[in-house]
Structure 1
Amino acid sequence: MKALVLKRYGGLDHVEFADMARPTIKPDEILVEVHAAGLNPIDYMIPKGMFKPILKLQLPATLGSDLAGVVVEVGSRVTRFKKGDAVYASIFDLPGGSLAELVAVPEYAAALKPDNLDFVQAASVPMVGLTSWQALNERAQLKRGQKVFIPAGSGGIGTFAIQLAKQLGAKVGTTTSTANVEWVRELGADEVVDYKKQEFEQVLHGYDVVLGTIRGDGVAKSLEILNPNSSVVSLIGPPDAAFARARGMNFLMRFVFGLMSGKIIRQARQRAASYSFLFVRPDGRQLAKIGELLAASRIRPVIDRVFPFAQAKAGLAYLEQGRAKGKVVVQMK
C-alpha cells in the first residue's frame, strides 16, 4: 500500500511516498480503508524533529493522525464496529499514521462517522475536536456564563473550539486578521480583536479560561486579561512536569520540563491563575459525543483546502504557511 513517510528528520524534504506492507491488525483493532486524512500543524513539525523528546517514532514513519474511512477488517475482540462501517478517528501518539491507504486503528480510538458529514468533513474533525473537548470540557471545566479566550479564531483549532465553547454556554473572545473579523463572529465569537490593529491584552478583560494556541509571548500576555482563580491550558507549551509524569518520563525529563514551564507557572500564580500543558489523546467515546453535536449541526466543520493524496506533501507545505482558514484535508478517494 502507498503511504506518506518520514525517512529521517530534517523537514519536509525528507518526506516522500513509499510502498508499505499491509497492516496486520491486533485483536482489539480495526483495519480502515482511508478515504480522507486531516492535516494538523504537528504533522509538519514532527519532520523537523521538534517532538523527538516526546514522540518516539521508529523511522521510516507514516505521517498523519486524523482519518475517516471504511472498516474492511475487524479484530477478534472488537465489539463496537463491523466490516463496512464508516468511521473517523485520531491515532495521534499511536503507532502508525493516517496518510496511508490502509490504517490499523485501536477500537477505543474510533467512532462512527456522523451521517451528515462526508469523509473529507469527518477527517477534518478528530484532533481539533478532541483537543477542544479535552482542553475546555475536561481540563478547564468551562462553565456556562464563563469567558474563554481562544486566539487565532480562524485557524483549525480556533474554528472548532469557538463553536464548542458556545455549545458549553461560554462567552468567547478571539483574535484574527481584518478580513476574518465578521467571519469568526458568525462562528460564535462574542469579542473579536483584529490583531493587525490592536493588542488583545489592551482590549479584553475579565476572562476565566485561556486556550494557548499561539507561539511566542501570547500565553504570557494572556495572563493580563484573566480573572482570579482562572486557568490557562496551553497546546503549544512549554510542557510542564505534570505532563512528563503522566507520560512516565524519567526524573531528568521531569526536571527539564519543570524548568521550561517554571516561569509561566510563576507568572500565572501571581495572577491567582493555574497553568497546564495539554497533549491530546485519542478517545473514540469523546469523538462519539462530538459526533452528536456534528450530527445535530450544532457544530460544523470548517475546511480551507482539500488536496488529493498525490499532493499530500504540498498540503503540509501549504499548512505550514499559516494562512489556512479552517482545516486542510487530504482526500484519498
Structure 2
Amino acid sequence: MKAAQINKYTKEIHAQIKEIPIPEISDTQVLIKVKTAAVNPLEMLNITGAVKLIQEYQMPLTLGNELTGVVEKVGKGVEDFKVGDAVYARLPIDHIGAFTEYVAIDAQAIYFLPKYLDFVTGAAVPLTGLTAYQALHEKLNAQPGQTVFISGGSGSFGQLAIPIAKSMGLTVIVSGNATAKERTLAVGADRFIDYKTENYWEVIEPVDFVIDTLGASEFERELSIIKPGGRLLSLRTGPNKDFAVSQGLPKWKQFLFGLAGSKYDKKAKEKNVEYQFIFVRADGKQLEQVSKIIEKNNIVPAIDPSEFRLEDINQALELVAKGHPQGKVVIKFD
C-alpha cells in the first residue's frame, strides 16, 4: 500500500510517497481502510520535530493525525466494532499515520462516523472536536454559567468548540473574521466581535476563561480580560511545566518545558490567572460525546474545495502551511 512518509525531521515541508506493507493488527486493534484523511497544522510540527520533546517518533514516519474510513478487520478482543462499520478517529499520539491506505488503530481511539456526515466532512471533526472537548472539560473544568472567550474563534476550532461549550451551559464570546459572523452565531455563539472593527480587550467585560487560537502575540491582551482566578488555555503559545507534568513526561523534560514556559507562567501569575497548554490525545469515548453534540446541532465542518489525492500530499501540506484554506484540507483515497 502507499503511504506519505518522512525519513527524518526537517525544516522542509515535504513528504515522500512509499510502498509499505499493510499492517497486522493486535487483539485490541481494528484495521481501517482509509477513505479521507485531514491535513492539519500539527503535520508541520510532526515534520519539523517541533513536538519531539512531547512525542519522539521512529523513522520513517507515516504522517497524518485524523481520518475517516471503513473497518476491514477486527482484533479478537474488540467487541464494539465489526467489519464494514464507518468510523472516524484522531489517531493515538504515539501511533499516528493517517496518510496511507490502511491503518491499524486501537479500538478505544475510534467511534462511529455520524450518519449525517460523509467521509469527507467527517474527517474534519476528530482532532478539533477532541481538542475543544478536552480543553473545556479537563483543562478548564468549565461550569454552567461561566463565560469563555475564544480568540480567533471563527475558524474550524470555534465551529466545534462553540456547540460543546453551549452544551455545558457556558456563555461564549468569539472574535474573528466578519465573513464568518453568521455561521459563528448560528452554531451558538452569544456574541461576535469583528477583529477589524473592534478591539476585544477594550469591549469585553472580564471573563472566566480564554481559549487562545492565535498564539503568543495575543498573550497579554488575553490576560487583561480574565477574572482573577481564571484560566488562559492556549492551542499555540507553547507548553509549560504544568503541561509536562500532566503528560507524565520525565523530570528532565519537565525542567525544559518549565524554562520554556516560565515567562508565560510569570505573566499569568501576576494577574492571578493560570496558564495552560493543550496537546490533544485520542479518546473514543470522548469522541462519542462530541459526536452526539455535533449531531444534535447538525454541525457540518467547512471543507476546503481543493481536490487532493495521496500523490498530492505536498501541495496539501503547502496549502495548510502557507496558504489560506477555506475550511479543512483533506486527502481523498476513493
Scaled to the shorter chain, the TM-score interval is over 0.9
Cα distance in 1, alignment partners of residues 302 and 166 from structure 2:
16
State percent identity of aligned pairs: 35
The aligned residue for residue 315 of structure 1 is 316
Distance change in 2, residues 1:139/1:298 (3 Å): farther
- Normalised by the length of structure 1, the TM-score is 0.93
Single out whichever of 313-322 and 64-73 deviates more from structure 2: 313-322
Aligned: 1:101 with 2:83 = no
Matched letter for residue 134 of structure 1: Q
The structural deviation recorded for 1:14 is: 3.4
The structural deviation recorded for 1:162 is: 2.0
Cα distance in 2, alignment partners of residues 12 and 31 from structure 1:
31
Matched letter for residue 116 of structure 1: Y
Distance change in 2, residues 1:249/1:295 (3 Å): closer
Cα distance in 2, alignment partners of residues 327 and 169 from structure 1:
28
Structure 1 residue runs of 5 or longer lacking an equivalent are none
Matched letter for residue 221 of structure 2: K
Cα distance in 2, alignment partners of residues 205 and 314 from structure 1:
43
Q: Output the aligned Cα RMSD.
A: 1.9
Q: How does 1:82-93 map to 2 (within 5 A)?
A: 82-93=82-93
Structure 2 residue runs of 5 or longer lacking an equivalent are none
Task: Give the conservation status (yes or no) of the 8 Å contact 2:27–2:77.
Answer: yes
The structural deviation recorded for 1:298 is: 4.5
The structural deviation recorded for 1:13 is: 4.6
Distance change in 2, residues 1:180/1:220 (3 Å): same
Superimposed CA distance per residue, residues 143-183 of structure 1 (whole angstroms, 9 cap, x where no aligned partner): 22321111222322122112322232222222223433343
Single out whichever of 5-14 and 62-71 deviates more from structure 2: 5-14
Q: How many residues align?
A: 333
SS in 2 for 1:275: strand
The aligned residue for residue 329 of structure 1 is 330
The structural deviation recorded for 1:306 is: 5.0
Distance change in 2, residues 1:297/1:190 (3 Å): closer
The structural deviation recorded for 1:280 is: 0.8
- Normalised by the length of structure 2, the TM-score is 0.93
The aligned residue for residue 21 of structure 2 is 21
SS in 1 for 2:216: coil
The aligned residue for residue 111 of structure 2 is 111
Cα distance in 1, alignment partners of residues 153 and 327 from structure 2:
9
Matched letter for residue 200 of structure 2: F
The aligned residue for residue 225 of structure 1 is 225
Matched letter for residue 321 of structure 1: K
Matched letter for residue 228 of structure 1: P
Cα distance in 2, alignment partners of residues 146 and 59 from structure 1:
45
Cα distance in 2, alignment partners of residues 140 and 327 from structure 1:
26
Task: Give the conservation status (yes or no) of the 8 Å contact 2:89–2:109.
Answer: yes
Task: Give the conservation status (yes or no) of the 8 Å contact 1:208–1:227.
Answer: yes
Cα distance in 2, alignment partners of residues 21 and 237 from structure 1:
38
Superimposed CA distance per residue, residues 188-223 of structure 1 (whole angstroms, 9 cap, x where no aligned partner): 323322223333212222211111221232133201
Distance change in 2, residues 1:160/1:294 (3 Å): closer
